């Protein structure tokens, strides 16, 4: 067993144009004052990191780590959620996802994909330069528009979709292998990897690539009504990252898992701040600790009711409260457990 590290915080939902959310130093000062020990950095925000420079220069990475360390923090992981999304985009989503790409690549799906692939590869090298061995991203999606098979999916569509997804990701995964970094896919609705079975199909398609790992976020599972605790039992060997994000599911006679096209506040399934939803985090922290997960517990704030400021403040204490300092003793050691072969035979009557 190992003790989970934390608390850490994902900065993506907190960056803004006002102090203290508009620069690396000011937001580091703020999260440190709340009790956080590490930050997960969204690499698309140039105020936090120059990803290309981080891939080119170890000196730049050392300087970046030093600036963050001045606030009593470290970098837990880098994230390429937005860039990873662009590795695989179905044409139906081109216009919506163009906002994730540089302006000069909009309305250019081929160029956008090439840029995304190179950017995620850069994140592998940057992570190595920063001394980090795990990385967060999305898989992208070519098949999501067919997840509810009406009209009927043509035979072979799913297999062809995962084959193409693996063709795009395997060269990226190989770069991560070369740099000693695991790719941790956030299993998420809207991605082709959105539950356990789709993850298994992706693994099969990329020949069980050792770097194709998981970011565990139970909020996405309660909205699907998936057993998020058994998921840990099934995939704990591949779980290398952990987002602490809550959710609740309140179905009615009017809507269920699909949400009836409602906004987040009115959906049956909605994201909440940790402790405000239905997720059993006590059991999650216990299982992850028992299985030896020693990564960071990272707050990801997404709540349709509570403010991000209150969510961040409460989230640090929530994570601290749930981290288990694992024991190296057995509770009944006081009773004595010494033994020898003669005693064993005597106890067994042989």
Peptide bond before 151: cis, by omega within 30 degrees of 0?
Answer: yes
CA distance 319 to 330: 25
Confidence at residue 337, expressed as pLDDT on a 0 to 100 scale: 65
CA distance 215 to 212: 10
**Which 8-state DSSP code applies to residue 327?**
-
C-alpha Rg value of the chain to the nearest Å: 22
For residue 347, name the pLDDT band (cuts at 50, 70, 90): confident
Confidence at residue 202, expressed as pLDDT on a 0 to 100 scale: 98
Q: Which residue has the tokens 């939902």?
A: 13
Q: How many CB atoms lie within 10 A of CB 347?
A: 9
The helix (run of H) or strand (run of E) holding residue 219 is helix 219-222
| Buried b / exposed e along 114-149 (16+ C-beta atoms within 10 A) | ebbbebbbbbbbbbbbbebebbbbbbbbbbbebeee
Confidence at residue 65, expressed as pLDDT on a 0 to 100 scale: 98
74 beta partners: 38
Cβ-contact 192, 139 below 8 angstroms: yes
* pLDDT tens per residue across span 220-275: 999 999 999 999 999 999 999 999 999 999 999 999 999 999 999 999 999 999 99
CA distance 306 to 41: 22
Return phi, psi of residue 231, to 5°: -55, -40
Peptide bond before 281: cis, by omega within 30 degrees of 0?
Answer: no
* pLDDT tens per residue across span 138-172: 999 999 999 999 999 999 999 999 999 999 999 99
Q: Report helix, strand or coil for 239.
A: strand
For residue 332, name the pLDDT band (cuts at 50, 70, 90): low
Which pair of structure tokens corresponds to residue 92? 């139906």
* Per-domain residue ranges of the chain: 5-348
* CATH architecture of the region 5-348: Alpha-Beta Barrel (3.20)
Question: Quick one: average pLDDT of 301-311?
Answer: 97
| Buried b / exposed e along 276-295 (16+ C-beta atoms within 10 A) | bbebebeebbbbbbeeebeb
CA distance 254 to 259: 9
């Amino acid at each position: 067993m190992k003790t989970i590290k934390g608390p850490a915080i994902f900065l993506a939902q907190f960056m803004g144009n006002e102090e203290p959310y508009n620069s690396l130093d000011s937001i580091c000062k703020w999260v440190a004052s709340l009790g956080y020990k590490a930050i997960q950095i969204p690499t698309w925000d140039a105020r936090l990191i120059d990803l290309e420079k981080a891939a080119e220069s170890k000196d730049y990475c050392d300087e970046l780590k030093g600036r963050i360390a001045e606030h009593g923090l470290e970098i837990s992981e880098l994230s390429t959620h937005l860039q990873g999304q662009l590795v695989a985009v179905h044409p139906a989503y081109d216009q919506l996802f163009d906002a994730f790409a540089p302006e000069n690549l909009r309305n250019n799906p081929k160029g956008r994909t090439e840029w995304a692939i190179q950017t995620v590869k850069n994140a592998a090298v940057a992570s190595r330069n920063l001394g980090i061995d795990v990385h967060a991203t999305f898989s992208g999606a070519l098949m999501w528009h067919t997840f509810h098979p009406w009209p009927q999916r043509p035979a072979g569509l799913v297999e062809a979709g995962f084959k193409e997804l693996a063709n795009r990701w395997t060269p990226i995964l190989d770069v991560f292998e070369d740099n000693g970094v695991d790719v941790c896919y956030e299993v998420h609705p809207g991605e082709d990897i959105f539950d356990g079975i789709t993850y298994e199909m992706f693994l099969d398609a990329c020949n069980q690539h050792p770097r194709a790992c998981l970011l565990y976020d139970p909020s996405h599972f309660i909205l699907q009504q998936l057993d998020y605790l058994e998921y840990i039992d099934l995939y704990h060997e591949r779980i290398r990252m952990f987002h602490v994000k809550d959710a609740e599911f309140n179905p009615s006679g009017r809507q269920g898992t699909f949400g009836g096209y409602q906004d987040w506040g009115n959906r049956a399934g909605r994201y909440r701040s940790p402790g405000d939803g239905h997720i059993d985090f006590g059991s999650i922290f216990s299982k992850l600790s028992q299985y030896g997960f020693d990564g960071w517990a990272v707050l990801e704030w997404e709540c349709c009711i509570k403010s991000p400021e209150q969510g961040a403040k409460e989230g640090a204490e929530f994570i601290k409260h749930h981290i288990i300092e694992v024991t190296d003793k057995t509770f009944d050691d006081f009773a004595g457990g010494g033994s020898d072969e003669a005693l064993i035979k005597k106890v067994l009557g042989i």
